[in-house]
Amino acid sequence: MIKVLVVDDSLFMRTLISDILNSDPEIEVVDTAKEGREALIKISKLRPDCITLDLAMPGWNGLTTLKHIIAEYPTPVVILSAHSKKDSDITMECLYAGAIGFVLKPSGELSLDVEKVKHQILDEVKAAAKVDVRKIKSFEPKAHPPLKEISHKPKEIRRKFTATNKIVIIGSSTGGPQTLELILSYLPVNFPAPIIVVQHIPSNFFSHSLAEHLNHICEIQVKVIESNENIKSGIVYLIPSGFRLLINQIGMKEIITFLQREEPDILTPSIDFAMKTIVEIYKENSIGIVLTGMGHDGVQGMKAIKEAGGNTIVQDNSSLIFGMPKAVIDAGYADIVLPAPEIPKCMVKYVS
């Protein structure tokens, strides 16, 4: 049984969330807490396998509570967040502070219709409960190099480059934001190829918050891609939540993007679809990377890249969740398997 502590300042929400979790035979809610200090005391006594944590609470808010949990009793935490720019920014801070994942409440803080996201809550809790707490520690807030500072990068990454006709596409899910920061912060401003990032994320607010965070930390430019945008080397493009990427080649070098809305899904945007789209234009010049996450999204996309003669890189079992990388490895579509800190050097090798 997965033992869960539910933390929310609303009695009504604690009851609804507990009912959802207890409806699954693999999960047992061992207790609830209405604020952060109470939660910490109960964690010390009950030692749950996972915690669901509300952001807006009296006293310690969700972020402060999370920092205490990670520092004192490292435990997988799933954040329950509302739809707003402010909440998306705080949720991103929580992910970098050690939260495993998050679920959006469908109607704000007091969501009487939280049943709508029942399956997402259950999936996130089950995935989080499998995470080795020693990996959670590795994502505690860390000091970043000064903005635009590249002296920390290996020599082969600091050298000058000539633009190529290649493209890199990265797929990630749970644990992705932290891993993307680790990888992208090592890349130089003159990286000689465009990079497409497909991060499973449930709201456009969060797509933009993630891009803003990465753009501040990384030397290379990071932005959310827009329709009718010309893909250029040296820029990281995030596909926004709820859309799929279409591209069209105009002449020899003009690659124009289009966004097509897709049905809401827990796995959005689709890694497989984006990779297959890229391969149609770039063929053997495609470089695919699959990082941490649960499920199998990315397997068919990496297959398409391999069959076209491109290169494929997969994060090893140091992944926060080894589901997606393992699925690609088991299917035989991984050229090389590496820990995240070694992936930037391999990217440079493949595009140069």
Cβ(274)–Cβ(169) under 8 Å?
yes
The whole-angstrom separation of Cα 6 and Cα 18 is 7
Cβ(82)–Cβ(71) under 8 Å?
no
The whole-angstrom separation of Cα 278 and Cα 301 is 9
Question: 3-state DSSP call for residue 197?
Answer: strand
Six token digits for residue 87: 């909440």
CA neighbor of 236 nearest in space, from 185, 276, 273? 185
Query: What residues contact residue 319 under an 8 Å CB cut-off, 6+ apart?
Result: 175, 179, 291, 292, 293, 325, 340
Angle between helices 343-351 and 176-184 (to 10 degrees): 60
62, amino acid identity: G
Q: Residues with catalytic annotation?
A: 173, 200, 297
Give φ, ψ of 293 to 5 degrees. Answer: 155, 160
CA neighbor of 101 nearest in space, from 127, 68, 67, 65? 127
